[in-house]
A and B are shown apart, each in its own frame.
Chain A
Amino acid sequence: MHLVESTSEVGEAVNRAKTDSFGYCSNFFPSTRKLQSWITHGDLFCDQRDGVALFLRRDRDFWHLYFCAANPTFLQRAVTALPMLKIEPVVLDLIGKESALAEMVGLFEDAGFRFYNRLFRMARTVPTVTPSVNVAPDSRVVVPDKTDCQPILDLLLRSFDCRAEQIPMLYEIEAAVEGRQIRVARCAGTLAGLLFFETQGMTSTLRYWLIAPEFRSQRFGSGLMHRYFAEHPVVRRFLLWVVASNTNAIGKYEHYGFAPEGLVDYVLANEKIRP
């Protein structure tokens, strides 16, 4: 296991795993920007062996495991042989169609992982009738500045499970604020809620949308969502991931025109992470 120092090193490791592979499997789909950010901050490590590249990304007090493998047999061998998985808290995400994931889930269960959580992806394709297209802009919704980064992170950590919901590091929030990917709702100078998105061409992913408990039922959430839609007139597909058991959030997303689109994310954790 060694520290990754460049994106080309990642590319080479992935290509080695892909060479002559039939049955290639992977859960590693980072954008170049995200990958570069992890490398710059010294958070990404790699283990390469026999047709498999394993990547571990440090996240606070635990690790995310990613893999690129020529086939499941090689993957199982590599995972079983990695000592770090026996001593460090590790989670991994298996993403795909529900019916196609059973074999991979079984493989990791055999290697000591167990079910931790399940998310599914929802999509809103345009045109879809939005409940309140003509709503006046909410003046409490603004673009945040650098001083908002830590409060944004605090609110995210208070509201979500960082092992299952990929909470960004402070440096990622700083980059998102700089890239104008976050909108916040303020109430008397206090952060009441936020909406965090990533847009690529005609697709935008809604990463987080939340209102602090003490500010709920004051229409901050709808103000954020309407602003988000209004600012993305060319986007044809809005995506998000939601915890499958969070029926409250799912109902709200359905209200705005989102519907399940078939992809699921099984989050598995090793024995060092308590349920």
Chain B
Amino acid sequence: MNALAELLKSIRPEFDFTTSSDFIADGMLDSFDMVTLVATLDKTYGISIEGVDIVPEHFHNLDAIAVLLKKYGVEAT
């Protein structure tokens, strides 16, 4: 999960993503960040996240993102 937290930090360096269980409620990720994150995940893991999966509940914490990645065959480390 550290790699995922580092990836998020590359998008929003001012936040520590290991300390929050709800990135959206805590104001750490907004809609635009989510779009950037999807593009970064696509590129990093060689996947193509479908539109229907681009919803806040898939990005609200590290576990949720890991579950989403698993759907695309990626084990987050």
User: Are A203 and B30 touching (Cβ within 8 A)?
Assistant: yes
User: Are A203 and B28 touching (Cβ within 8 A)?
Assistant: yes
Known: A201-B27, A203-B27. A125 touches B14 (CB 8 A): yes
Known: A96-B35, A263-B32. A237 touches B27 (CB 8 A): yes
State A177–B61 Cα separation when bound (angstroms). Answer: 32
User: Are B52 and A15 touching (Cβ within 8 A)?
Assistant: yes
Contacts of B12 in A (CB 8 A): 237
Pick the most buried of B15, B30, B52, B54: most chain A CB atoms within 10 A of its CB.
Answer: B52
Q: Given A22, A199, A204, A236, which contacts B48 in the complex, CB threshold below 8 Å?
A: A22
| A208 within 8 Å of B (CB atoms) | no
**Which parts of B6-59 form the interface with A (CB within 8 Å)?**
12-15, 24-28, 30-32, 35, 48, 50-52, 54
Q: Given A22, A201, A202, which contacts B50 in the complex, CB threshold below 8 Å?
A: A22
User: Are B27 and A95 touching (Cβ within 8 A)?
Assistant: no
Q: Given A20, A24, A201, A204, which contacts B26 in the complex, CB threshold below 8 Å?
A: A201
State A20–B30 Cα separation when bound (angstroms). Answer: 24
State A199–B35 Cα separation when bound (angstroms). Answer: 21
User: Are B26 and A18 touching (Cβ within 8 A)?
Assistant: no
Number of interface residues of A (CB under 8 A): 24
State A237–B26 Cα separation when bound (angstroms). Answer: 11
| A17 within 8 Å of B (CB atoms) | yes
User: Are A126 and B14 touching (Cβ within 8 A)?
Assistant: yes
Chain A 125-167 against B: per-residue CB contact (8 Å), 1 yes, 0 no? 1100000000000000000000000000000000000000000
Pick the most buried of A21, A24, A204: most chain B CB atoms within 10 A of its CB.
Answer: A24
Known: A95-B32, A202-B15, A236-B15. A24 touches B51 (CB 8 A): yes
Instruction: Give me the interface of B with A, judged by CB distance under 8 Å.
Output: 12-15, 24-28, 30-32, 35, 48, 50-52, 54
8 tightest Cβ-Cβ pairs between the two chains A and B: A201-B27, A24-B51, A203-B27, A18-B51, A21-B51, A201-B26, A29-B31, A200-B27
Instruction: Give me the interface of A with B, judged by CB distance under 8 Å.
Output: 15, 17-22, 24, 29, 70, 95-96, 125-126, 199-204, 235-237, 263
Q: Can you list 29 A-B contacts (CB < 8 A)?
A: A17-B51, A18-B50, A18-B51, A20-B50, A21-B50, A21-B51, A22-B51, A24-B50, A24-B51, A24-B54, A29-B30, A29-B31, A70-B51, A96-B32, A96-B35, A125-B13, A199-B27, A201-B26, A201-B27, A202-B26, A203-B27, A203-B28, A204-B27, A235-B27, A236-B14, A236-B15, A237-B14, A237-B15, A263-B32
